[in-house]
Amino acid sequence: MEPSADTHSKPVDIYRDTWVRFLGYANEVGEAFRALVPVGAVWASYGIATTYVTADAIDKGRKAAAAHGERPGKAVCVCVAVVDTFVWQALASVAVPGFTINRVCAASHFLLSRTTRWPLPVRKWTTTAIGLSTIPFIITPIDRSVDLLLDSSLRKLYSEGEKED
């Protein structure tokens, strides 16, 4: 019997390849609902997203440690994996999209209040709908922008360290 294609595929990364990835978007959903929920709920959504980011960084550090074995430089390799993952995820999953959705919702609410006579609850729900519908469109541009930012800054430090080894 021939082995299936699945036996040769990459192992599943629960933080990138499963529903767990959506926990990184919790703060974006929280920001979209800011007009409708207590501010504590928005902050809780940031707590969920930050927990996701931290768990992913720890996971990547453990994987780097396992892959590096007992070779010299293991601590540096693990540190780079943790820092790179944490900084990337903190920017791409929490800070930049949270700010973006916050500003989209604030602008939407402002424009709706200036251009419509809709009742406040309708404006708030419309603002939330606009914020939620924005999320899928901002993910890829933000991810690519954070990659470019890190490639031109922090990751240059890592590559300089590798050249010295």
Q: Are 86 and 50 in contact (CB under 8 A)?
A: no
Query: Is 17 in contact with 9 (CB distance < 8 Å)?
Result: no
Sequence length of the chain is 165
- The tens digit of pLDDT for each residue in 116-126 reads 999 999 999 99
Per the domain annotation, does 123 fall within a domain? yes
- Phi and psi at 152, nearest 5°, equal -95, 5
Domain limits for position 127: 13-164
Contacts of 150 (CB under 8 A, 6+ apart): 84, 87, 88, 91
Low-confidence spans in the chain with pLDDT less than 70: 1-8, 160-165
Number of domains in the chain: 1
84: its two tokens: 């790179």
pLDDT reported for residue 1 = 46
Q: What is the spatial distance between Cα 98 and Cα 100, in angstroms, rounded to a whole number? A: 5
Q: What is the pLDDT of residues 128-141, one digit of tens each?
A: 999 999 999 999 99
The answer to the question of residue 5 being in a domain is no
pLDDT at residue 160, as a whole number: 65
Residue 8 lies in a domain: no
Those residues whose C-beta lies under 8 Å from the C-beta of residue 88, and which sit 6 or more positions away, are 146, 147, 150
What's this model's pTM, rounded to 2 decimal places? 0.85
Q: In this structure, is residue 6 part of a structural domain?
A: no
Q: Is residue 19 part of a domain?
A: yes
| 112 domain residue, yes or no | yes
Q: What local confidence, expressed as pLDDT, does residue 162 receive?
A: 57
In a domain, residue 100? The reply is: yes
Residue 33: strand, helix, or coil = coil
Does residue 1 lie within any of the structural domains? no
Q: Are the CB atoms for 31 and 46 separated by under 8 Å? A: no
